[in-house]
Amino acid sequence: MKNIVTTILFLFSLNAISQNDVEESYYQSERAENDVNQLLSYPISNLSENESVSNLKKKLKSEINTVSDCDVFYKYSKILKLNETEIEILKNRIEEIAQGFCSLKKYTYFQYTGGYSPIFGVKDETINNKIVSTAMLGGGCVIEESDKKSREILALFNSKMENCVLNK
């Protein structure tokens, strides 16, 4: 009888530990998603304006002032039927947004981690005496055309940011 009670108590304690581990895992996952999304959707004000930018903003129904905006519109530019001039505006806009991050001392890189076990979250490190966040965006083993476009536009952001981090 003692063995049965001990076994039952042991199983209940394993179940409680397991539930805590699952909840901790969910918490960490949601926290990582929140941290990444905050960086992707951080709005930058005072970006350049001209008639072409205004027309594109109307067409896309967006202020086009976040990394996420530029990323989504750029990678789906064919579906949105954007012309070369509009695509150039998005490229210039992402570089302006990177400069805005830099001006705010919000040093950030965006990186796809891909592979067998992709990482999603934000890590901080010190580069050139600056705290720099890297938003790791996960990703899969297969890279589709939209993934390539996303990597391309984020590379423009990262290049501008690298210049800022290393030279200011």
Nearest to 71 by CA among 100, 112, 102, 114: 112
Backbone angles phi, psi at 31, to 5 degrees: -65, -45
Report pLDDT for 40: 96
Mean pLDDT of 144-150: 86
DSSP lists the bridge partners of residue 47 as: none
pTM here is 0.82
Q: Predicted confidence band at 27 (pLDDT cuts at 50, 70, 90)?
A: low
Whole-angstrom distance, CA of residue 62 vs CA of residue 146: 20
Rg of the Cα atoms in the chain: 22
Task: From residue 88, give the alpha-carbon distance in Å to each of 129, 133, 153.
Answer: 33, 27, 11
User: Comparing 86-90, 114-118, 162-166, which segment has the lowest mean pLDDT?
Assistant: 114-118
- Using DSSP, how many helices (H) and how many strands (E) does the chain show? 5, 3
Instruction: Kindly indicate the confidence band of residue 152, based on its pLDDT and cuts at 50, 70 and 90.
Output: very high
What integer best gives the mean pLDDT of the chain? 86
Q: Where are the beta strands (DSSP E) in 13-167?
A: 108-111, 120-127, 130-137
* 20, pLDDT greater than 70: no
